[in-house]
Amino acid sequence: MYIAQAFNVLHDWWRYLVGLVIVVIAVIIGQIPFTAAVMLKAVRNGDNLLGMDETKMMTLLEPNLNLFLMLLSFAVGLLGLLLVVKYMHNQSFTSLTTSRKKIDWKRFWFIFFVWGIISSGLVIVDYFMSPEDYMINFKLIPFLILCVIAIIFVPLQTSFEEYLFRGYLMQGIGVSSIKKEFPFILIYTIASILGFIYLNSLFSFGVFLSLLIFIGLSIILMLILNYKLFDNFFNSNTYFVLIKIFKRNSTPLIITSLVFGLLHIANPEVDRLGSVIMIYYIGTGLFLGIMTLMDEGMELALGFHAANNLFTALLVTADWTAFQTHSVLKDMSDPTEMGFTEIFMPVFIVFPILLFILAKIYKWTNWKEKLFGSVVEPLKEDSLILEDSHSSDN
């Protein structure tokens, strides 16, 4: 099992918490060049950054420079994540990626080209059906520079997101879910996030203060878990039921998909399209998570995500998207008119069909167990088998 592989490395829950803090710090460090460049440009233009919306901020820099600096933070984040995995968990890159003995790059390239052709084809078909919604945006030299930046850095961006959500957090939450403290940690975390969102709406914390608050809440959590007063609560029948509910593969699948989707809430698309776009983001997270669990590895999720972002960056852009690029086409349509085709059709029609096709190609079986079965530590599973054999001998 893909999740169970993490039992073979250092998998204490606090390691994942500390590791996540380190990754966040790495991303913040990676954002410094972008922030500095935007601030310098704003000062030169006489603009006030405090009152500027994100869409305007994304247009301050030249598109290729903007894209490069924006993607740089993901590259630094990926480096931080890989260092955390290696030195805090003593885990190999291969076991983080797949349950196979080696990474199956054929899977990656298969889905990469399949989805690249499908997604590009849909854009081209839409262009010929509604040419008034598009403007030719092609300029040779800026486009060639875009190709170099996108081909190098977009896969790093998508790999960071996949290794963080479908890899590190999927495995980390999965192996932590068997611990008796897990339901309490989850409830505490949700309550802390909701409380922070409320306080942030009142006081508008900065990035660094937010990080300090997160670290402080984490320390408080560790102190609470070490306090004997909670022993009776952890051993109660009600709490035992919660442990059984959460100790399933569906727990990391749902949590990582929700977090993956909600982290896109700051994207300019959300302001223009409304909260309904979150159905697409969360649905995409579920799709990638299901693909990872059923295929026992991340190769397909890595390939799909890379193709989705890379071909989009090269082919089409819009004034209201996170990626402002020198792409071939520029979407001039009114984003508020988007609905079923752009949001609901991929999640409820295209993705299920693609999962069905992949299931046939790679012979996926045992869906219920892989998606909703209990997370079991391999050694404990082996001991149960030995106990059963001893009892049968007697």
Tens digits of per-residue pLDDT, 321-345?
777 789 999 988 876 666 667 788 8
pLDDT band at 392; cut points 50, 70, 90: very low
On the 0-12 / 13-18 / 19+ scale of CB atoms within 10 A, 311 is buried
Rounded CA separation 86/170 (Å): 17
How far separated are the first and last CA of the chain, in Å rounded?
A: 31
Record the tokens describing residue 246, joined without a space. Answer: 């959460």
Among 134, 165, 178, 160, CA closest to 291? 165
What is residue 361's predicted lDDT score, i.e. its pLDDT? 97
Rounded CA separation 355/300 (Å): 11
State whether residue 327 is helix, strand or coil.
coil
Asked whether the beta carbons of 288 and 166 are under 8 A apart, the reply is yes
pLDDT band at 388; cut points 50, 70, 90: very low
pLDDT band at 192; cut points 50, 70, 90: confident
Asked whether the beta carbons of 58 and 260 are under 8 A apart, the reply is no
* β-bridge partners, 136: 329
What is residue 220's predicted lDDT score, i.e. its pLDDT? 78
Asked whether the beta carbons of 10 and 89 are under 8 A apart, the reply is yes
- What residue type is assigned to position 309 of the chain? N
**pTM of the full structure:** 0.88
State whether residue 270 is helix, strand or coil.
helix
Query: Is the per-residue pLDDT at 209 higher than 90?
Result: no
Which helix (H) or strand (E) segment is 137 a member of?
none
Which helix (H) or strand (E) segment is 209 a member of?
helix 207-225
Asked whether the beta carbons of 163 and 240 are under 8 A apart, the reply is no
Rounded CA separation 95/218 (Å): 27
